[in-house]
Amino acid sequence: MVFSSILFLFKFLPITLLIYYIVPKKLKNLVLLVASLFFYSWGEPKYFPLMLACILVNYVAALLIDKHREKRTFIGWMIGLAVFFDLGCLVFFKYSDFFISNINSLLGTAIPLLKLTLPLGISFYTFQTMAYTIDVYRGKVKAERNIINLAAFVVLFPQLIAGPIVLYDDVAAALRDHRITKQHLLDGIRLFIFGLGKKVLIANNVGALWTQVNELGFQNISTPLAWLGIIAFSLQIYFDFSGYSLMAIGLGKLMGFDFPTNFNFPYISRSFTEFWRRWHITLGSWFREYLYIPLGGNRKGYARTVINLLITWAATGFWHGANWNFLLWGLLFFVLLSVEKRWLLKYLDKGKVWPHIYTLFILVLSWALFDITDMTNLGLFFTRLFDFTGGSDWIYYLRNYAASIVVAIIFCIPVVEKAYNKVKNNLIIDLLVLSVILFLSISYLVDSTYNPFLYFRF
């Protein structure tokens, strides 16, 4: 379903951009809204009314909050109802079966599972609508009175299904002005092609190794192959998600929007504190702004800070999926960040090589916890990582994937970007680089059947 939606995006994008460019400014948001709803309906038609309901509820709540600011109790009820509706939709569709299955296991009941399909992009657009209404309540932004403008913000098709998480304040001016400069167009084309290359040429190629390791079964692999596989997944998830984020930011530029940066070379981090300033930046900012700080942040003493971190990171992990492994993954980072905040960070700041080793080693292990949802398989895989099971199976896979892994590692550091920035002003070199990446990416998409989009399941 997701892959067909992506192919559909490529098919209808040129005509959408053409119409968007030629219509008057006052009609651009309508074109954007219709195109986004059409795209969403193509991928998930039965949940079309749910998205409309989210838009309408937050539109009305924000207007009422703006109109009755002097009535503190009333606007408190309004913000509470809007957030309850947004979170309620997310919890119902994403977590119902998780809670039911755990209740059944705990109490011995036999409540049937709902087996609901997860609405496309619900983890992202519910966070955006919540943030909008909360910002209106805080007085940070004015309520949008034009429902077409608000709806266009919520369903912006470039970032609808996998982020980055965009706040209304990020795009409000562009929604009203629609000023598209030459630089927007140039940057948009570059970012989209680079994002496509990261996703298709790097993530897909290196990620195929982890898929094959899973197909072999963890009980049948050697320790070297287990490490090779999880390193491949660590590279895949970065290039998959950062690649799509870059594509979304590029598409936004082509329409005059400046979406926030979502990744900034996270694997060069020297601590987990730094890593979470570089990885999925918009999600980390959302939880900090709309959960951690409202809970009190670090303003109420060390004990309260730890509790606030615990709640925030449990929520961050659980946001990624309705399974215990995601919750444990979030709690792992809570422990690591708490330890760093308490005493380790000052030593990491002084180190040179070992902070990178410490961060990357635990990160690789954390991605195993993130991806393997079955606890039995997770235990088996961690056992295989450290029981030093011999074998020569890894030689075959290293021979096949060594080039892909080396290329991925090189692109994890800023060296290539710095080199490109020195020559991109040379039009011939720039066109040549972009043309090669685009040609290879399209060729891969045409010929390959392996094209997973990891973050779309969240």
In angstroms, rounded to a whole number, what is the distance separating the alpha carbons of residues 440 and 425?
A: 22
Is the pLDDT at 392 greater than 80? The verdict is: yes
Q: What is the pLDDT of residues 60-83, one digit of tens each?
A: 999 999 999 999 999 999 999 999
Backbone angles phi, psi at 108, to 5 degrees: 75, 20
C-alpha distances in angstroms, 247 versus 254, 397, 424, 453?
11, 30, 19, 13
pLDDT in tens, 229-242: 999 999 999 999 99
Which residues are known to be catalytic? Answer: 320
Cα dist from 185 to 149, 182, 307, whole Å: 22, 5, 46
pTM value is 0.92
What pLDDT band is residue 1 in, cutting at 50, 70 and 90? very low
Is the Cα torsion angle 257, 262, 268, 274 positive or negative in sign?
Answer: positive
Q: What is the largest CA-CA distance in the chain?
A: 73
Q: At what angle do helices 302-319 and 324-339 cross, to 10 degrees?
A: 150
Q: Which amino acid is at 137?
A: Y
Q: Would you place residue 311 in the very low, low, confident or very high pLDDT band (cuts 50, 70, 90)?
A: very high
Residue 455 pLDDT > 80 = no
Q: What percent of the chain stands above pLDDT 90?
A: 67
120/435: higher pLDDT: 435
Per-residue model confidence (pLDDT) at position 36 = 85
Q: How many CB atoms lie within 10 A of CB 177?
A: 11
> On the CB side of 134, how many CA atoms lie within 13 Å of its CA?
16
Whole-number mean pLDDT of the chain?
90
Q: Which of 8-12, 65-69, 249-253 has the lowest mean pLDDT?
A: 8-12
Residue 218 pLDDT > 80? yes
Is the per-residue pLDDT at 268 higher than 90?
yes
CB contact at 8 A, 90 and 121: no
CB burial of 209-222 (b: ≥16 within 10 Å; e: otherwise) equals: bbebbbeeebeebb
Q: At what angle do helices 324-339 and 375-386 cross, to 10 degrees?
A: 50
CA torsion, ordered 70, 75, 76, 81, to nearest 10 deg: 180
Helix, strand or coil, per DSSP, at residue 379: helix
Per-residue model confidence (pLDDT) at position 395: 94
From 318, 313, 327, select the one nearest 275 (Cα to Cα).
313
Query: Residue 115 has which token pair?
Result: 């087996």
Per-residue burial over 297-318, b = 16 or more CB atoms within 10 Å of its CB, e = otherwise: eeeeeeeebeebbeebbbebbb
Q: How far apart are CA 181 and CA 185, in angstroms?
A: 7
pLDDT average, residue stretch 93-101:
94
| Direct distance between the N- and C-terminal alpha carbons of the chain, in angstroms, rounded to an integer | 14
Q: Tell me what the mean pLDDT of segment 337-341 comes to.
A: 92
- Return the pLDDT at 398: 94
Q: Which two tokens stand for residue 298?
A: 């670090």
Q: Contact, 158 vs 256, CB < 8 A?
A: no
Looking at residue 37, its pLDDT comes to: 84
Residue 370's pLDDT is: 95
CA atoms within 13 A on the CB side of 259: 32
Q: How confident is the model at residue 448 (pLDDT cuts 50, 70, 90)?
A: low
User: Does residue 2 surpass a pLDDT of 50?
Assistant: no
Tell me the mean pLDDT in the region 243-248: 92
* 220 band by pLDDT with thresholds 50, 70 and 90: very high
